[in-house]
Amino acid sequence: MEWTDADVSHARNAADLAIEHLRDSLASGRTDVLDSLGWTPEQARAFLSRWEEMRRRAESPDPRRRADFEQALRSLGLRADGSRSSRDVPADVKGGQAEGRRSRPPASYREQFEAYLRGTAGE
């Protein structure tokens, strides 16, 4: 599905809200967000710094910098409006398809999952 300007705008707004939430969590000393990400406060601050720098560069007239930022937005896992998840389809329409849905492993298992995929790729 092709992304429209509106899709990119929605992704930017969602990312801004997530960044604000992360920043607020750091400022208040809450660790629930950091724990779910598996980050230390230093890693979160470094991420926020990199994100803000990328955001500033995207405001330049250089279309490559803007495209880099838009690609980063697309990589966040948000979907364009025309894309639908099997969770968005009513159960009676799925016809047994729900069991075949792929999803990302929880962050706490991601490293083990990737190791498993690397180990089975040679077969």
Give the span between the Cα atoms of 11 and 5, in whole angstroms. 10
Q: Per the domain annotation, does 30 fall within a domain?
A: yes
Q: How far apart are the first and last CA of the chain?
A: 32
95, part of any domain = no
Domain containing 75: what range? 5-82+105-120
57 in any annotated domain: yes
Directed axis angle between helix 63-74 and helix 5-28, to 10°?
A: 70
Mean pLDDT, residues 80-99:
54
d(CA 66, CA 119): 38
pTM: 0.56
Domain count, the chain: 1
What phi and psi values does residue 44 have, to the nearest 5 degrees?
-65, -45
Higher pLDDT, 110 or 5: 110
CA–CA separation, 121 and 123 (whole Å): 6
For residue 73, count CB atoms less than 10 angstroms from its CB and return exposed for 0-12, middle for 13-18, buried for 19 or more.
buried
**Residue pLDDT, tens place only, 40-81:** 999 999 999 998 988 888 888 888 888 888 888 878 776 655
2-20: average pLDDT: 83
Q: Would residue 96 count as lying in a domain?
A: no
Q: What is the pLDDT of residue 42?
A: 92
92 in any annotated domain: no
Amino acid at 55: R
Q: Which two three-digit tokens encode residue 74?
A: 């697309």
pLDDT at 80: 54
Q: 28 lies in a domain? A: yes
Q: Which of 51-60, 87-96, 108-117 has the lowest mean pLDDT?
A: 87-96
In a domain, 39, yes or no: yes
pLDDT tens-digit map of 12-31: 888 889 899 999 999 998 88
